[in-house]
Chain A
Amino acid sequence: MTDFLKAYNTGQQELKKLEIIQKEIDALFKDLNNQLKVPTGGRIVIDRQLLQAKDDSLFHSFTESVFPDSVKFYFAIVASNPNSKIHKDKELAKWDQQQGGYPCTISYGSTAITCHDLESLAAALARLLEDPQIAKIIAEVKSEI
C-alpha cells in the first residue's frame, strides 16, 4: 500500500524548509537595507517587487485592453526612495526564484548569477551594488525629491 502519510509528512517538512529559506532571504534584504539606512539618510530601500513586463507594441496595447489576462508580470529587485513624492520603483535586476527557495537568479546588464545558498546570494547582491550602472540608478533614486 502506498504510504500517503509518509508522503504528506515529507511534503510538510519540505514546506517548512522553504519557509525557513524564504525568511532567511527576507532577513538578508532587511540587513542590506539596515546597512544602507544611515549612510543614505533613509532614502534608499532595495527589495523584490512584482513588475509588469514592458511591451510598447501597438498590438500588445490592443490585446491588453481587450484581454487583461495577457498582461505579463515578473519579479525584479528594485530601488525606491520612501522620502520621495514620486516613490516609484526603479528596476535594478530581474529576480527569479521559481522553486520558492534556492536556486534564485539575479540578472542585470550582461550577467545572470544563479545562487544556490544564502552566502552566494549575499555575495551576488554585493556584486550588484558594486556595478557602476546599478550604482547610477541607485544614485538617481536617492536624489529624487
Chain B
Amino acid sequence: MDMLEIKPIVLIWWNTSLSPPTKPRASEDKRNFIKHAVKEFFNKKGVDILALGEVSSLDLEEIKDYINDSSIILHDATGQDKYLKFNIGVLFKKTRLRILYHKSFLDSYGKITLKLCEYIKIYSRDSESVINIYVSHWPSRLHCPENSPKRIEIGTALRQKLDVIRKSSSDPQFIILMGDYNDDPYSISLAEHLLATRDRELAQKNDSFLYNPFWRYLGESEPFLHGKTEQGICGTYYYASGQPSRWYTFDQIMFSSAFLKEGPLTLDERYCQILRNDYLESAIKSSESIFDHLPVMGAINIRRIT
C-alpha cells in the first residue's frame, strides 16, 4: 500500500489593516501593495485558502478583480449589522476546495456580544475529506485588555464550538483555527481555555487539545552573534509603544490532533511560518504606515492510498 503525495493545501492568514474598525480605509497605494502581495501568494506560494482580516466588501472585490483568476472564489464574511462589524474575507481555490457550509458565531452575555469566529466547512476534493475552518479576529487589547474576563470567555466559547464538531463523529475531525487573536500563544485564553498547546505529543494523544505551531515564533527569528546577526523579527504584530516587548505573536494557525495522526491530511510544519518581506517589515515599524501585522502560513499534506 503506497501513499500518493499530492500538492499540499496551503493556508495563509493576514490582518491586512485595509479597513480597520476605527480608522479610515487604506490609501490607494497601500491597497495596491496588498493586492499585489495577495496575487503573489496565489502564484508563488500556491495558497489554497487565504483568510484576510480588517477588510471590507469593497477591499475584497478589488482584490478579487486584481487577481483575475476564475479558479478562486470569495467568501465575504464582512458587513456591519446594527451591533457588530465583521471584517473577515476568505479566498479559496475552488478547483481543490468546495464550501459546504458557513456561519458567523457570536457569544453573548449581559449587554456584551463577542465575535468568536467565522466557521467555514470545506470539502477537499483531493483528499475527499471535510475540513472545519474557524477564522477569528478577536477584540483588540485596546478595547479588551489582556486580563479581561472577556478573553477567557471567548476562548472557552470557541472551544465549546469545537467540541460540538468533535462529538459529531467518532472519527477524529480535521479542524483548523486561524486568525488574529490579539493574544499570544501563552495567553490564558488560548493556552488554557481554547487548549492550544505547544506539546505536539499531548495534542496527538488527546483530541481535546489543538496543536499550535506558532509557539516557536515567540522569540527572535535569528540567534545573536556579534557583527553577524541580520535584522530579525520576534512576532507577527508590532506595536511601537509595547511593553515589555514591541512584538507580539497574535497571528496564529492551530490544528486539531487529526492532522498529527495517520490519515488523509497531515500537518506539514515546515511551512508553518511568518511570511517576511522587507517592505512590509519596515512598514509595520513605521509610525506613518497603516500596516502592523505580518502574514502567517500553514500547510497540510494530502496522502492518498494508491
Contact = CB atoms under 8 A, between A and B. Distances in A.
Interface of A: 107, 110-117, 119-121, 123-124, 127, 130
Most buried by B among A110, A113, A114: A114
A112 B103 contact: yes
**Which of B104, B105, B109, B113 gathers the greatest number of chain A CB atoms within 10 Å?**
B109
Nearest to B112: A120
Nearest to B106: A113
Given A114-B157, A130-B82, A124 B108 contact: yes
B106 A119 contact: no
B110 interface: yes
A120 B110 contact: yes
Contacts of A111: 103-104, 106
A117 B110 contact: yes
B111 interface: yes
Contact of A114 (B77, B83, B108, B111): B108
Contacts of B82: 127, 130
B5 interface: no
Contacts of B112: 120
A111 B83 CA distance: 13
Given A112-B105, A113-B106, 16 more contacts: A110-B77, A111-B103, A111-B106, A112-B103, A112-B106, A113-B107, A113-B113, A114-B107, A114-B108, A117-B109, A120-B109, A120-B110, A123-B108, A124-B108, A127-B81, A127-B83
B39 interface: no
The 4 closest A-B pairs by CB, nearest first: A120-B108, A116-B109, A113-B106, A111-B104
11 contacts: A111-B103, A112-B105, A112-B106, A114-B105, A116-B107, A119-B110, A119-B111, A120-B109, A120-B111, A120-B112, A130-B82
A107 B109 contact: no
Nearest to B109: A116
B102 interface: yes
A46 to B, nearest CB: 19
B186 to A, nearest CB: 26
Interface string B150-170: 000000010010000000000
A113 B83 CA distance: 12
Contacts of A119: 109-111
Contacts of B77: 110
A29 to B, nearest CB: 17
A24 B113 CA distance: 21
Interface of B: 77, 81-83, 102-113, 157, 160
A111 B107 CA distance: 11
Most interface-central of B81, B106, B108, B110 (chain A CB within 10 A): B108
A63 B108 CA distance: 39
Contacts of B113: 113, 120, 123
A40 B280 CA distance: 58
A112 B107 CA distance: 8
A60 B101 CA distance: 21
B104 A112 contact: yes
B152 to A, nearest CB: 13
B103 A107 contact: yes
Nearest to A102: B109
Contacts of B103: 107, 110-112
Contacts of B160: 114
B12 to A, nearest CB: 23
Give the one of B82, B110, B112, B157 with max A CB within 10 A. B110
Given A114-B157, A130-B82, A123 B111 contact: yes
